[in-house]
Structure 1
Amino acid sequence: MPKVILLYTSMSGNTEEMAGIIEKSINSHGIKVDKFQIDLDDFSATDLIDYEAILFGTYTWGDGDIPYEAEEFYDDLEEIDLSGKVVALFGSCDSMYPNYGGAIETFSNRFKERGAAVVLYHLKVELTPEQEDVQRCQSFAEAFIEEISIKSKS
């Protein structure tokens, strides 16, 4: 099974909660996940080279902006070749803004620019995950496991 990292940024705790649900779901299949919070844990963008599968979560600041604490990480991604990596993105969003979950899209584009295969539909949750969102997070994790299982067989 590929080496999996779950990397996220969270301000209010919503994306962190999603990350925890996804991690628990993947762990329940016997797959180890290394989890890091950007700007809090000791992690740099170059560390992504050590992983085959990347789960990336972010909230969106204002009208589609990436969080300030993720700006340096975003810039650092520009220097890294992520060819062969499988990436799926998730995050909490706020429909009060017209660019719903814009930071997720911005990071998705950066991962693609760097050669990664972005898989699955981006999982966007309105603010705090409700019970139906917990199930969506679990389904997202299941689908990611399928994606990386297919990748590891090829």
Structure 2
Amino acid sequence: MADVIVIYASVTGNTEEMAEAIVEGLRAGGCQPVVKSVIDASAVDLLDYRGVILGAYTWGDGELPDEFLDFYEEMDDVSLEGRRWAVFGSADSSYPVYGAAVDILAAKLAERGAAPIMKELKIDLSPSRQEKEECVEYGRRFAVQITVDAALKP
């Protein structure tokens, strides 16, 4: 089983910037992640990885982006027991529900049996330089934890 897969959706580039910074952190932490746009991914892809990181912007008043809908539905057909996860995304604080797509993905991963490594990461609109550094650190911490988990597994 490979280390980590990062799957994301981005329309304006904000979530993609976050994904790139998280991947930088994963690499700094010793992982060699596979990175995919959700359009090029299938939920069964998750079965090949110990660590799963999903990223999505929130659409409208609190929905998953359209390009994530098929993937989300496919997740109902996979058991993610033994997988660890994190979720991130760009959000817009002008909406009543802040970053709801991130919460929706986190709930689905937990429902399918995966366990979180850390709290979800939400950034308002485009990440600042400091927020990109937070994304790098987020990825690095994920990599460290997934490595520790692997070492502890019999």
TM-score (normalised: structure 2): 0.94
Is the partner of 2:110 in helix, strand or coil?
helix
Aligned to 1:148: 146
Structure 1: 5+ residue stretches without partners: none
With 23-32 and 139-148 compared, the bigger mean Cα shift is at 23-32
Aligned to 2:20: 20
Is the partner of 2:7 in helix, strand or coil?
strand
Return the alpha-carbon distance in structure 2 between the equivalents of residues 152 and 2 of structure 1.
11
Aligned to 1:32: 32
CA contact (8 A) 1:58 1:91 kept: yes
Return the alpha-carbon distance in structure 1 between the equivalents of residues 26 and 78 of structure 2.
26
Query: Which letter does structure 1 place at the counterpart of 2:119?
Result: Y
Aligned to 1:118: 116
Return the alpha-carbon distance in structure 1 between the equivalents of residues 109 and 17 of structure 2.
23
Query: Runs (4+) of structure 1 moved beyond 6 Å?
Result: none
Return the alpha-carbon distance in structure 2 between the equivalents of residues 19 and 54 of structure 1.
12
Query: Which letter does structure 1 place at the counterpart of 2:33?
Result: V
Aligned to 1:107: 105
Q: Answer 1 or 2: higher relative contact order, Cα 8 Å, separation at least 6.
A: 2
With 141-150 and 30-39 compared, the bigger mean Cα shift is at 141-150
| Aligned pairs (5 A) from 1:3-152 | 3-39=3-39, 41=40, 43-152=41-150
**Root mean square deviation of aligned Cα:** 1.3
CA contact (8 A) 1:2 1:148 kept: no
Return the alpha-carbon distance in structure 1 between the equivalents of residues 102 and 121 of structure 2.
9
Higher share of residues assigned helix: 2
Identity %: 38
Structure 2: 5+ residue stretches without partners: none
TM-score (normalised: structure 1): 0.94
**Number of positions where the alignment pairs a residue of Structure 1 with one of Structure 2:** 152
1:77-107 Cα deviation digits (max 9, x unpaired): 0110000000001010000101100011011
Return the alpha-carbon distance in structure 1 between the equivalents of residues 138 and 28 of structure 2.
14
